[in-house]
Amino acid sequence: MMEPSRRGGLYLVAVKLLDVAARAGFVLVATYALPIAQAGQFGLLTTLVALFAFGFNFERHIDIQRRTAGQPYEVFDRYVSSATGFFAFNWALMTPLFLGAVILMADISPQMAALAAVIVIGEHISNQAYYFALISPRYAPLLLVVTIKNIGLAAVVLYQALLADSPLRLDFVLTLWAAGAALCTAALVVMWLRIRTATPREKPFHFGVDILGQHKASAVHFLLGLIALLVLQYDRLAVGALMSMDQVGVYFRHAALASLAYQAFSVISFNRIIPTVFAAARQDSVAALRGRVLREYLLTLIGAPVLFALLWGADVLTGGVYSERFHLSILLIGVMLVGFMLRAAADFHGLVLNARHLENAVLRQQAIAFAIGAVLLAVLTWRFGLFGAASATVATAGLYLILIATRVSRLIRSEATA
């Protein structure tokens, strides 16, 4: 019989895959059904929501996981309770910046920006449900609520796009998304209050310890995650800043497919193997760890070409009808998938270093790749448009892979000669 912990892990993977599929379905349908310029606005909004939801979190869950591993439930619940004040401080600090960014970059009204503010806070809370469920199985029902919300969003927007008399509009999508985020957040709060077993705070609140201390404890992980996220998203920001909204819409229709591949990779492979690699790092050599993650990487090497083959086959079977209708370029999608495969290989090498507590080395390699890639992105996007932006992401991912793989190889050689 399968062990309870393994069953729980498979359950989380299954639910998260369903959640990713529903969220991707919502984004894909909206991106392809909206008028091309509004698709560009929606794409920029989803990018900014992802960036600021990450900023709200500040990668706090990683430090919580390290501190509460093997501890009773009450200890974990106290850390989660403490993090709620930390998150509220980040909301107050960053939400005005988010509002300014969406109004300026996405060119939307203040009313739509207010809806976007509800969305970004709701998405941050939904993300925490997944992270906390990975740490404590008691929080798994929260992830199920988030998944149901995303399925509902995808179903409604699909109905509106295919069956409703009126065409899909951006204001409808944002209103729907904000309503779903608000209802989901309310349900998560009620469920969390019922699930947690922590006793009330034993010590008085101290801003420097409870808020600033949490920022300090998570600072390195935040910088690592921020650079990683910017490497994945900054091409969209550059396209949004340098090109017309119609061109932005075309780019986001392609980027949404590549993003779906990366999310599936994270759930099916990368996030699933993290606990195994961290546990193995206690006794295995770096060479053994690299071998383990490279075997896992074979799933990506198989999956990405299969996705491209399906898209290319659909285009051939329809005589290019769907690609012409939705302004799609199979070549552009192919370039983006190459960048995804290179980035996935780099992430696995970074996991080896993280398992050895060498996150500062990962940060350095990412920072170098990002600094060089940002300049390359601006130049290539300005000179060659959409293909220039996609090519810059491939070059950046390739550079990061070379840097991080070289660092792992040096570590293996040093272990061999020690």
Which tens digit of pLDDT belongs to each residue from 285-339? 999 999 999 998 887 788 888 888 888 988 888 888 878 888 889 999 999 999 9
Query: How far is the CA of 377 from the CAs of 224, 234, 380, 384, 400, in angstroms?
Result: 20, 9, 5, 10, 15
Is the pLDDT confidence value at 398 over 70?
yes
d(CA 302, CA 258): 15
Tens digits of residue pLDDT in 78-96: 889 889 999 999 999 999 9
What phi, psi does 130 have (nearest 5°)? -70, -50
Q: Apex CA 368: angle with CA 367 and CA 372, to 5°? A: 115
Determine which of 194-208, 292-306, 361-375 has the lowest per-residue pLDDT on average: 194-208
d(CA 407, CA 260): 29
Of 196, 189, 215, 209, which Cα lies nearest the Cα of 60?
A: 215
What phi, psi does 204 have (nearest 5°)? -65, 150
Q: How many CB atoms lie within 10 A of CB 248?
A: 27
> Higher pLDDT residue, 133 or 99?
99
Q: Residue 393 corresponds to which amino acid?
A: T
What phi, psi does 259 have (nearest 5°)? -65, -40
Is the pLDDT confidence value at 6 over 80?
no
User: In the chain, pLDDT over 90 holds for what percent of residues?
Assistant: 58
> Higher pLDDT residue, 357 or 412?
412
What's the pLDDT band for 118 if we cut at 50, 70, 90? very high
What's the pLDDT band for 2 if we cut at 50, 70, 90? very low
pTM as predicted:
0.85
d(CA 266, CA 125): 19
> Higher pLDDT residue, 230 or 173?
173
d(CA 159, CA 135): 36
Cα 240 to chain center, whole Å? 19
Q: Is 280 helix (H, G, I), strand (E, B) or coil?
A: helix
d(CA 110, CA 107): 10
d(CA 408, CA 405): 5
For tokens 């290179």, what's the residue? 342
Tens digits of residue pLDDT in 152-165: 999 999 999 999 98
3 state SS for 74-141: HHHHHHHHHHHHHHHHHHHHHHHHHHHHHHHHCCCCHHHHHHHHHHHHHHHHHHHHHHHHHHCHHHHH
Determine which of 93-102, 244-253, 276-285 has the lowest per-residue pLDDT on average: 276-285
The pLDDT, as a whole number, for residue 54 is 94
Is the pLDDT confidence value at 209 over 60?
no
Query: How far is the CA of 139 from the CAs of 22, 144, 218, 292, 372, in angstroms?
Result: 20, 9, 22, 29, 41
Determine which of 17-31, 272-286, 371-385, 401-415 has the lowest per-residue pLDDT on average: 272-286
What's the pLDDT band for 198 if we cut at 50, 70, 90? low
Q: Residue 103 corresponds to which amino acid?
A: I
Is the pLDDT confidence value at 404 over 50?
yes
Determine which of 178-187, 294-303, 360-369 has the lowest per-residue pLDDT on average: 294-303
The pLDDT, as a whole number, for residue 400 is 94
pLDDT, average across residues 171-180? 98
Taken in order 172, 175, 179, 181, the sign of the CA dihedral is positive
User: In the chain, pLDDT over 70 holds for what percent of residues?
Assistant: 94
